Amino acid sequence: MPSPGRRPTADDPVLVMGAGSIGAWLGGRLAAADVPVVMVGRPRTLNAMRAHGLTLTDADGGRLHLPPARLTLAEAVPEGLRPGLALLCVKSAATSAAAAELGARLPAGTPVVSMQNGLGHAARIAAAAPRLAVVPGMVPYNVAELSPGHLHRGTSGRLAAQAHPALAPWLPVLQAAGLAMDLHADLTAVQWGKLLLNLNNAVNALSGLPLRAQLLDRDLRHCTAALMREALAVLGRSGIRPARLSPLPPALLPAVLDLPTPMFRAVAARMLRIDDKARSSMADDLALGRVTEVEALNGEVLRLAASLGLEAPLNARLVALVHGWSRLARPLDGRGLRAALGL
């Protein structure tokens, strides 16, 4: 087990744990800004980057290309690595194993920011790697792999993390890499603000449609609106006020989603500034028969409700629907999903 030695600094490399859509996006932006980055990932994604390099495009028309020689890739956390910052970017089912690997390899006190959706990850990382300085984080935008080695950011926003002294020196580094990050005294409200938006993920996944097309379907929007209303009611009872992460305040989201589509297009024009290619990554998981993050998202609503002695039957039905989904099943259209949810 490595000894703590000197404290990690912003001159040390960044370690990306889980070089998938979000990990390779963050790692690629940092590498393009000449920050030393080690990206740990699976052979499939690493081999694609070894063959094609990494191309990062975005909805604002940006395009960066890093040839393979500019990428430092590894299939496990290299022995003796002393990163100044680690970004944990695996999906929720892989959190504990990835955190245990970090805990075994990195010096005590290394800051590890969870860039994952949902609220429970930091606690799980800390349980698996108690010597590391675990910080909850939040990625507001959507990143999808369009082809091997090509990632596309389909929406926009600023990264966020819980305030921690180890993060302050990294803010200018992140900013220079186009990854501006805001620090919050308590990230809970921000995480819930993101989670509310993520309640659309399972709806999107079950619909089989790209995000924009799905949001233009009123029945599918109604399903998301109903899931959000239920979550907002539970949040209201808990005293948590979810942060505003979209142009609309959280409390107004369900009503706006329920508008007839021409009005929705007008009112939610910015929400619809998603390019045609964006989709939720849960859609890929469902299509490939992988474990989804529905437990970390809709499941969090159920856990909060239960902690208050309440129920969240609609989110519970959606969780059950996703768990019971076969990858061979046909996507559900808006009416089909409404019927399945009893709406």
In whole angstroms, how close is the CB of 15 to ligand NAP at the nearest point? 11
At its nearest, how many Å lie between ligand NAP and the CB of residue 255? 25
Rounded CA-CA distance 208/152 in Å is 19
Per-residue contact string for residues 268-287; x = within reach of ligand NAP by CB under 6 A:
-------------x------
How deeply is 172 buried, as exposed, middle or buried, from its count of CB atoms within 10 A (0-12, 13-18, 19+)? exposed
Residue from 38, 40, 106, 167 binding ligand NAP (CB under 6 A): 40
Among 4, 9, 11, 42, binds ligand NAP (CB under 6 A): 42
97 in contact with ligand NAP (CB under 6 A): yes
Rounded Cα gap, residues 257 and 221, in angstroms: 5
266: CB partners within 8 A, 6+ apart: none
Per the CB < 8 A criterion, the answer to whether 343 and 334 are in contact is no
Q: Is the dihedral of CA 26, 96, 91, 310 positive or negative?
A: negative
Rule CB under 6 A: which of 135-194 touch ligand NAP?
Answer: 139, 142-143
The span of 38-46, 164-172, 300-308, 327-335 binding ligand NAP (CB under 6 A) equals 38-46
Give me the amino acid identity at 157.
G
CA torsion sign, 111 to 28 to 88 to 13? negative
Q: Pattern of binders to ligand NAP over 50-89, x per CB under 6 A?
A: ---------------------------------------x
* Site of interaction with ligand NAP (CB under 6 A): 18, 20-23, 40-42, 45, 89-92, 94, 97-98, 101, 115-117, 139, 142-143, 281, 293
